[in-house]
Every structure is written in structure tokens, then in C-alpha cells.
């Protein structure tokens, strides 16, 4: 009876301990991420955003597939991440929806409705036994907050990567894409971006595609410093897109004090006056530097755009007439070394895992030592096979007549885009004029010799990479990054400028989630084949041997205890 009572007491104590542990576990959630790349750990910015949610977020996942295996892995990773999100907020719900479910009429209606929201499927060919079937899948997640919704394409498709790398990058970018979208949905007050006008910059039509891409997350507009004088405090960023005329000291002072007050500037500068239109009806053209009167200002901030052109064997092509057939000209495309495919540095979250960026007649950039501490990150550079043509340089289509000589392309990795971060010194420190003081007094500001807080600038040695192309026949404005000669869209152009703007204006540091990298740990095929029998034997015998050893040990201990 005593033994029975003892057993009951022990059982009750065990139950009590389990209940107490469950109560503590429900209140204090904890885990250990032992992976090398910390793939199961959210960034601090993501956690802060999720904990601050006050309204319901609903996520519909359209990728409900079981094959092929790669997409099943993407589907499972998406669900795992959302469950991880749910551990930090009670305001997040999700469900899987199969767009290919129902009758043919229902499926077609659903696809039309999805297409209206910019959601398009992709086709895959999947083997089922000896058959090869086409499968339509939607790698999309629709995130709703109230009546607002934003679709998110969760599949990365970088042409320079294979399918496995693209899927791996897709999983690595899930946190950033979801967090950025949720923030856009819950943000009540948008930040303000203006495009500078008055110095021959790109027109409103040229900037239409970029403005369309920015409209959901930011307010955009235009500003002319002749009429506004100083830049208002409500402006968060200024984009200087390919100016062609000199800046007055008055305008430079307005931009300088904007930076000193914490403003951000994107300098997209064509240093040499040249484009393909310059060669129309000419045998050759001499490219000369533009006098923009910005050299001293950029020099003070830590960069110098050199008077040169970068040529690269990694480039896009242009069509040239190669003959006549039936009275009609025949065209063939040739590499045009001045239209560079710039390489992302891949070490900064702005450019990590993005496609190459198509730049047109770019110059090289030098970084300089500054009075204040400014970090300089090279975001884009030329390839290993690039060279420099110093100004004045003659440009002619004759270069296409001859095969390139790789040994002459011996100036690799020229900087083409540089991000500046830190405390900037004013160009006008110690030399402010009475007119400048008066301009500041009118708006109730004091002159700042250096920026009060850390701020950011981006300098790109090309302005045309954000230009929108409009078809002369149809009037259609193509997407950002469209190359009219290649007739294709370079996604890197869009990704680069949008990521850069997000990074510069997002104080919560959400873009850091783009830096997350999931390492591919692929099986060594040669070793797996040679050691196949050995590992099969280990997998079969080891469990049996462990079970046998445990049984003998148990028998030995029991025998010693009771004999």
C-alpha cells in the first residue's frame, strides 16, 4: 500500500511540474538558433515592427504546391516565417489559397481578377512518371490591412543565377519583403521626395516610371530653387537626375543646408555630355565634360566624378545596319562598350542579390578623405574587363568594326556608384555671404557648418539608368530599366534605385533584412557515389548496435541491482 501511495504522490508531483513549466513556456517564449547563417532569427527592426502592430494583418499565400521540390521548400519556408512572425504579434493571420482550384470558368475569372492587381502566374513543366505536364503556379502572397492590399512576388528570378540559387535567395528575402510591405500598409504619414528642376534635369515624362514605382510608399513632386529659394523642412530627400546646366551658388547653398539639416540627396550625374543621339548623322563625336559647378561641393562631401568614360566588355548591345536585302536594311546587334552592365558589390543590403544595373556612358568615381567621418560604400563597379577613356575622347561606331582586345581592358572594378554616410561638413563653412544669411533668416533657420545628425547621400555616375522610355508608335511608357535597343527590362535598375531610396529614408533599418544570406550546402556528388555503400551500412547497422548496447547495459544494471 505504501509503494502505491508513493507512486501516486510521484505522479502528482510530475503532473504539477509539467503544468508549471507549460504556464511559464506560454508566457516566456525563447529559442536558440544554432545555424551558422542565423536563418531562423528575425532582425531587430522586424521584431520591433511586429510588436508594434495594432491592426489585423491578413496574408493570403497563393503558392500552395507540393511539387517540384524547390517550390515546396519555398512554400514551407514562407509558412515557417509567418509562424515566426505570429510569435511576436497576435494581429497576424494567414491562409493558403490555390488559384487553380475549381471549375475552368472559376479559374479563368480568378486569374483575370489577379491580373488586374498585377499578379501573373509562371509556367513550370513537371515530370509525373513518363509524362511531362505543364503546371501554372503563383509565387505570390497578398498582404491585407483593412481595405488596403499589396501583392508580393516571393520568387527571385536573377538570370545570372541557377534555379537553386534563385530559390535560396527567394527564401532569404522573404523577411525583408514581408516586413517592408507590412510597414507600407500601416504607415500613416508618407515621406516626401522631390525631383530637382531648373538645371536641365530629366523631364517629368522621363521620370514617370520611377514616380509610379514610388507612389505607394512615398509622396513625390518637383522643386525649382528659383521659386522656392531654400528647401522646405518637410522634404526628406532630393533627387538630382542628370542635370545639364551649371548650378548657381545660391542653389548649391540651398542643397548644402538641406544636407546639414539631415536631408538626403541622390546625385545622378552624367559628367560627360554624350549619348547615342550625339552620333546621329555624324561619323564621330568628341565627348567633353559638362560644367555643372558641382565639383567643389561633391569634393567636400568625399567623392569626385572623374572626367572620363568607363568602357566594359560586360555591356549591352545596339543594332547596326549590316546590309540590304530586297531594298530593306538588315540589322545586327553589336556590343556597345559604353553601355555598361555594372556589377553590384553584393556586400551591402542595398545591392545584395540584385541583378546587374545597365548604365549608359558612365564615368568612374574617386573617394576622398574628408574633414568629418564619412563612410564610403561602393555599391556598383565595372567588371574585371573594363578600361577608361579620358576626356576629351572621340566616340565612333568604328569601334564595332573590330574584335575587342581583352588585354586593353585592364582597369578593372571601377567605382560607378558610391553611398556616403555620416556627418557632412558644409561647403560654405567660413565663407557664407550676407545674401545667404538673409535667405536663412527669412525661413527662420540658422547656418549650420556641419550636419547636426548623421545623414546619407548616393552618388551615381549616370542619370539615364532611371529614365523611362516612351514608345513613339503607341505612346506606352515602359517599366523602369527598359533598354530600347535590347528590348528587355533590366530589373537591376529598378531594384537598385528603389532599395537605395528605402535605405536612405527608412530610419527603422528594415533593409538590413536584405543582407540575410542562406548558404547553399550542396551534396558532394562524387563523394556520395564513392562512399554510398559505407553510409548505407552505417545507417542500417548503427541503430541496431545502439539498441543492442542499451539492452545489454540495462540487463547488466538490473542484474547487479536485484541479484
The pLDDT score that the predictor gives to residue 139 is 87
Cα 382–387–392 angle (5° rounding)?
115
Q: What global pTM score does this model have?
A: 0.79
Q: Are 172 and 73 in contact (CB under 8 A)?
A: no
Query: Under CATH, which number does the domain 191-515 receive?
Result: 3.40.50
In our burial notation (b when 16+ CB lie closer than 10 A, e otherwise), range 101-121 reads: eeeeeeeeebbeebeeeebeb
Beta strands 57-61; 92-96: pairing state: parallel
- pLDDT for the residue 36: 55
Residue 265: is its pLDDT beyond 80? yes
Hey, how many other C-beta atoms are within 10 angstroms of the C-beta on 495? Answer: 22
Residue 37 has φ and ψ, to the nearest 5°, of -95, 10
The answer to whether 178 and 186 are in contact (CB under 8 A) is no
Contact between residue 126 and residue 132 where contact means Cβ atoms under 8 Å apart: yes
% of the chain residues with pLDDT over 90:
36
Beta pairing class for 455-460 and 264-268: parallel
pLDDT, one tens digit per residue, over 272-320 is 999 888 888 787 889 999 999 999 999 999 999 999 999 999 999 998 8
DSSP class of residue 174? H
pLDDT tens digit sequence for 18-65: 788 777 665 555 556 555 555 667 888 888 888 988 889 999 998 876
Encode pLDDT of 62-100 as tens digits. Answer: 887 665 677 788 888 888 999 999 988 999 999 988 888
Please give the pLDDT value at position 35: 56
**Extents of the domains making up the chain:** 30-186, 191-515
Q: Which residue carries 525563447 as its cell?
A: 30
> What is the C-alpha to C-alpha distance for residues 305 and 245, in angstroms, rounded to an integer?
16
Most confident stretch, 358-362, 517-521, 542-546: 358-362
Contact 490, 358 (CB under 8 A): yes
Q: What is the largest CA-CA distance in the chain?
A: 112
Q: Are 122 and 167 spatial neighbours (Cβ–Cβ below 8 Å)?
A: no
Bridge partners for 136 per DSSP: 123
C-alpha cell, 167: 530559390
Distance, CA of 520 to CA of 27 (rounded, Å): 36
- pLDDT of res. 560: 78
Question: Are 512 and 349 within 8 A, CB to CB?
Answer: yes
Residue 63 has a pLDDT of 80
C-alpha cell at 194: 522631390
Amino acid at each position: 500500500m505504501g509503494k502505491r501511495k508513493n507512486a501516486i504522490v510521484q505522479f502528482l508531483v510530475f503532473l504539477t511540474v509539467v503544468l508549471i513549466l507549460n504556464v511559464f513556456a506560454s508566457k516566456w517564449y525563447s529559442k536558440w538558433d544554432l545555424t551558422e547563417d542565423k536563418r531562423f532569427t528575425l532582425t531587430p527592426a522586424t521584431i520591433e515592427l511586429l510588436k508594434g502592430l495594432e491592426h489585423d494583418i491578413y496574408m493570403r499565400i497563393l503558392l500552395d504546391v507540393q511539387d517540384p521540390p524547390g517550390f515546396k521548400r519555398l512554400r514551407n519556408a514562407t509558412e515557417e516565417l509567418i509562424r515566426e512572425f505570429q510569435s511576436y504579434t497576435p494581429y497576424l493571420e494567414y491562409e493558403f489559397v490555390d488559384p487553380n482550384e475549381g471549375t475552368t470558368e472559376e479559374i479563368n475569372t480568378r486569374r483575370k481578377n489577379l491580373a488586374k492587381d498585377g499578379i501573373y502566374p509562371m509556367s513550370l513543366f513537371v515530370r509525373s512518371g513518363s509524362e511531362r505536364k505543364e503546371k501554372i503556379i503563383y509565387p505570390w502572397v497578398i498582404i491585407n490591412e483593412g481595405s488596403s492590399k499589396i501583392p508580393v512576388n516571393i520568387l527571385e528570378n536573377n538570370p545570372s543565377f541557377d534555379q537553386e540559387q534563385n530559390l535560396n535567395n527567394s527564401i532569404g528575402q522573404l523577411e525583408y519583403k514581408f516586413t517592408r510591405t507590412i510597414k507600407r500598409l500601416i504607415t500613416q504619414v508618407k515621406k516626401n521626395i522631390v525631383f530637382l528642376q531648373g538645371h536641365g534635369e530629366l523631364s517629368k515624362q522621363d521620370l514617370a516610371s520611377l514616380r509610379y514605382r514610388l507612389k505607394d510608399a512615398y509622396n513625390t513632386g518637383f522643386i525649382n530653387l528659383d521659386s522656392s529659394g531654400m528647401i522646405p523642412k518637410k522634404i526628406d530627400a532630393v533627387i538630382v537626375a542628370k542635370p545639364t546646366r551649371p548650378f548657381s551658388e545660391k542653389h548649391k547653398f540651398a542643397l548644402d543646408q538641406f544636407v546639414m539639416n539631415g536631408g538626403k540627396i541622390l546625385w545622378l550625374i552624367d559628367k560627360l555630355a554624350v549619348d547615342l543621339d550625339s552620333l546621329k548623322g555624324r561619323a564621330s563625336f568628341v565627348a567633353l565634360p559638362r560644367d555643372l559647378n558641382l565639383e567643389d561641393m561633391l569634393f567636400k562631401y568625399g567623392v569626385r566624378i572623374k572626367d572620363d568614360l568607363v568602357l566594359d566588355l560586360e555591356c549591352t548591345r545596339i543594332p547596326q545596319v549590316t546590309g540590304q536585302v530586297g531594298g530593306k536594311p538588315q540589322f545586327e546587334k553589336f556590343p556597345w562598350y559604353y553601355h555598361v552592365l555594372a556589377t553590384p558589390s553584393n556586400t551591402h543590403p542595398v545591392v545584395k542579390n540584385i541583378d546587374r544595373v545597365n548604365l549608359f556612358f558612365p564615368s568612374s568615381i574617386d573617394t576622398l578623405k574628408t574633414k568629418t567621418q564619412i563612410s564610403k560604400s561602393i555599391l556598383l563597379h565595372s567588371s574585371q574587363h573594363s578600361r577608361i577613356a579620358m576626356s576629351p575622347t572621340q566616340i565612333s561606331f568604328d569601334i564595332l568594326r573590330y574584335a575587342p582586345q581583352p588585354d586593353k581592358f585592364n582597369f578593372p572594378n571601377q567605382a560607378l556608384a558610391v553611398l556616403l554616410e555620416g556627418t557632412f561638413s558644409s561647403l560654405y563653412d567660413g565663407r557664407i555671404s550676407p545674401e545667404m544669411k538673409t535667405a536663412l533668416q527669412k525661413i527662420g533657420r540658422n547656418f549650420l557648418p556641419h550636419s547636426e545628425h548623421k545623414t546619407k547621400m548616393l552618388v551615381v555616375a549616370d542619370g539615364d539608368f532611371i529614365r523611362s522610355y516612351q514608345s513613339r508608335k503607341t505612346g506606352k511608357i515602359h517599366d523602369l530599366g527598359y533598354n530600347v535597343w535590347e528590348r528587355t527590362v533590366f530589373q537591376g535598375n529598378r531594384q537598385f534605385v528603389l532599395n537605395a531610396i528605402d535605405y536612405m529614408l527608412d530610419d527603422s533599418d528594415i533593409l538590413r533584412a536584405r543582407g540575410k544570406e542562406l548558404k547553399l550546402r550542396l551534396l558532394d556528388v562524387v563523394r556520395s557515389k564513392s562512399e554510398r555503400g559505407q553510409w548505407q551500412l552505417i545507417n542500417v547497422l548503427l541503430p541496431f548496435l545502439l539498441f543492442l548496447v542499451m539492452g545489454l547495459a540495462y540487463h547488466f544494471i538490473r542484474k547487479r541491482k536485484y541479484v
